[in-house]
Amino acid sequence: PKPKPKPEPKPKPKPKPTPKPKPEPKPEPKPTPSAMRRLALLAALAALVGRGASDLKPLGLDFGSDSCVVARLQSGGVDVAVNSISQRRTPSAVILGHEPKRRLLGEQTQTERRGMLFKDVRALLFRRGDGAGPGPNPNPNPNPESSPSPNPNNEP
């Protein structure tokens, strides 16, 4: 008797390729405090200084804890700049992140309730590099009478 030939094994079906998982979007990096200070300074300057000024004259910036004033030396004396609502004083406040690639300055921050509010631009810009001091205010538009102002010099 002849041995029966073994049947050829059936080829195994190839497994279906598994789809690669989509990479999760990387979270946006949080800006450093020094970058935020520079951004706030540039935003304040952009708000206070008119665009297209062709003549370069000495410029004075007064950053107060509540407001900012810009003045420029003219041939007849000192000219204090007015803001978009014809006021000489502009609130020292910047809101970032309420919409992509936009910022709100001065009076615009009085009614906006979204984004990161930076009040007291002076303390934000001119604090010591110890990492202490003001940062984004999680409570937008607090009542200024009820919130203590930051003390960047650690004075009593």
pLDDT tens digit at each of 156 positions of the chain: 677 777 777 777 777 777 777 777 776 666 566 666 666 776 766 665 555 555 567 777 777 777 878 888 877 888 887 777 777 887 777 777 767 777 777 777 777 767 777 776 666 666 655 454 444 444 444 444 444 444 444 444
Mapped onto helix, strand or coil, the DSSP state of residue 45 is helix
Domains, the chain, ordered by start = 33-46+59-125 (3.30.420.40)
Burial-class residue 121 by CB neighbours within 10 Å (0-12, 13-18, 19+).
buried
pTM of the model: 0.40
Q: What does residue 12 show for φ and ψ, rounded to 5 degrees?
A: -75, 140
> From the centroid of its chain, how far is CA 107?
17
